[in-house]
Chain A
């Protein structure tokens, strides 16, 4: 069935289709209407789930950690400050190996206050052990929530699905809504890693000394790495059932490209427009969209970028004192590339909802093609007021 729905509605419908059993949320712009929709589904009985209106995001994640420990499917949604407040429990969820799924509607972090999109909220949680998927369309949002459950449960690791605040969360697009039976087939109940057995009570997560702590962390690390292969396999299966294919990274006109742009989220759409336009002028440019950020798809990134002469990374988050976040990751990946080693340049734009317009992308391409390394900085700002 096709419907005209927003990104937030796509999330809510996916959560319903996934037959989630416990939901805990605290409202925050631009996530709020996910909370409202899900609470409506639950109170109307359209979902057989408990919806808990907790007193903060910290409590939301804590509630889900408790619920997921019993083996049920759990979900929350948040943004920005809310995600930051969850930080302590994000580590806990991944350390406890609980396949909780969350939608994070990307929004800038303060100070100063801002409610608009950038990627600083989720990228600053990159080391919490959560899988991270960045979406470009409302259809992709719906599908990715389903994929996230499947991958998370396969490797017993929590996952967050990112959608750009307002640009996706509040913009309606035609979306194909899958049939319940097909989703049930794609998302069978999986046995939790450490199921609770009433006949054999245990204490969970008690103090673990230096003699065993590292073994736990190594297992957690391996699971998150294993998620890379799992995500590839799940994508193939998803494509078989639903006819839509989601590789870990998406290459667009990369084959013979000399300059490749790297982007994540909806700015990739603007980049694609510019790439197409420049291709018409005979310029050899391409785009790589990072869809899966954790696990980081080293293989895909290297194979898509190695043949290029130069790479321009467009970041919507910056690590003060260092560089753009995506830029660091792409550079690190290419360092171990067996193929070529293109020059990599970092650009930052679109912070706090500043529109990323095609002119910025063109400016970025002009700069990397014509100015060379010495004229560019570690972080090159696009669209900054003088």
Chain B
């Protein structure tokens, strides 16, 4: 993307990264924290609104695109990732962020998640996980804990929830982190690292739905938090430790759980192109050789 002149007045405070549209979230919803954190991240990284694009699917959380002063794309339920990928491939210099809920990411859209992880396109995916379908008023989601009471599990859920962190590490994501919307300062650090990471970054933000699960969620989660940054022995490049942290039952670890340096999809495409160009004069049979997986 060629931008010689800045098209939009550069915001000078985090607040100025807000679009001015008043959020329709319930008072106390965890998603306000994510919006505020994102504004601070944009400010910290000095992101230009016209070079930043945030994609979402559908859900309460997916409304976040409209509240930020950057390009926003409020897409179809579950399709934030492929649409964001398409934009990133067409405009590699755009800062691309995808955001949405646990339903969007792990029920209807789950087919895209493993591929986004393994493809390692340079973008950031923030899932505001409230363990419920908020927008449609409180039905069971794929991250709802076993036994949870919801409007579609009035006597408790009999299903085993998806563990998004385990899933992401298992699917070869190169940056996997968790944050809590009740701690904005920490969330800002985590999201900043995610955006700075070259490759696909997945961030699960525990973002309580106060209306359909309850205000006590903030306290319950807060009391279980364990900050990985406080643990000098924790090495996020160690995959087995990351799996271990992701599988904890007695506490909730937040921070960067796993990070690995790996060429991005675009890096690899560039190498492929160069190889193909240098072998231009070769016969068709050699070309076939290059593209053999």
Contacts and interface: CB of A to CB of B under 8 A. Distances in A.
Contacts of B159: 53
Contacts of B152: 27, 35-36, 39, 51, 53
Nearest to B140: A53
A25 to B, nearest CB: 8
Given A39-B152, A43-B155, A53-B159, A26 B137 contact: no
* Interface residue range, chain B: 20 to 34
Interface in B146-165: 151-155, 159
Contacts of B133: 27
Interface in A42-83: 43-44, 51, 53, 55-56, 81
A53 B136 contact: no
A56 B153 contact: no
Contact of A32 (B74, B137, B140, B155): B137
A56 B76 contact: no
Contacts of B107: 26, 55-56
B173 interface: no
Contact of A53 (B110, B135, B153, B155): B153
A55 B110 contact: yes
Given A55-B108, A110-B76, A28 B153 contact: no
B194 interface: no
A55 B140 CA distance: 10
B154 A40 contact: yes
Interface string A15-41: 000000000001111001001100110
Interface in B117-152: 133, 135-137, 139-140, 142, 151-152
A213 interface: no
Contacts of A27: 133, 136, 139, 152
Given A55-B108, A113-B58, A35 B155 contact: no
B101 interface: no
A40 B74 CA distance: 32
B153 A81 contact: no
B193 to A, nearest CB: 30
B78 interface: yes
Contacts of A85: 108
B77 interface: yes
Contact of A56 (B74, B78, B135, B139): B78
A43 B106 CA distance: 24
Nearest to B152: A39
Query: Residue among B107, B133, B136 with the most chain A CB within 10 A?
Result: B136
A83 B110 CA distance: 19
A36 B58 contact: no
A345 to B, nearest CB: 35
Interface residues of A, number: 19
Given A32-B139, A53-B139, A26 B153 contact: no
B155 A81 contact: no
Contacts of B108: 26, 55-56, 85
A85 B159 CA distance: 24
B153 A39 contact: yes
Interface in B39-77: 58, 74, 76-77
Interface in B252-269: none
Contacts of B137: 32
Interface in A288-324: none
Nearest to B144: A53
Contact of A28 (B106, B136, B151): B136
A56 B77 CA distance: 10
Contacts of A51: 152
Contacts of B110: 55
Query: Residue among B77, B140, B152 with the most chain A CB within 10 A?
Result: B152
Query: Residue among A27, A28, A29, A35 with the most chain B CB within 10 A?
Result: A27
B83 to A, nearest CB: 12
Interface in A82-136: 85, 110, 113
A171 to B, nearest CB: 18
A111 B131 CA distance: 27
A28 to B, nearest CB: 7
A51 B203 CA distance: 32
A8 to B, nearest CB: 13
Contact of B139 (A35, A81, A110): A35
A210 B126 CA distance: 49
A51 B137 CA distance: 19
A26 B74 CA distance: 20
A40 to B, nearest CB: 5
A26 B152 CA distance: 10
A81 B135 CA distance: 15
Contacts of B78: 56
A84 to B, nearest CB: 9
CB-CB nearest 10 A-B residue pairs: A55-B107, A56-B108, A27-B136, A39-B152, A36-B151, A27-B139, A32-B136, A43-B155, A53-B140, A53-B152
27 contacts: A26-B107, A26-B108, A27-B133, A27-B136, A28-B136, A29-B135, A35-B139, A36-B151, A36-B152, A39-B151, A39-B153, A39-B154, A43-B153, A53-B139, A53-B140, A53-B153, A53-B159, A55-B106, A55-B107, A55-B108, A55-B110, A56-B108, A81-B76, A81-B77, A110-B76, A113-B58, A113-B74
Interface of A: 26-29, 32, 35-36, 39-40, 43-44, 51, 53, 55-56, 81, 85, 110, 113
Given A55-B107, A55-B108, A55-B142, 12 more contacts: A26-B107, A27-B136, A35-B139, A36-B139, A39-B153, A43-B154, A53-B152, A55-B106, A56-B78, A56-B107, A85-B108, A113-B74
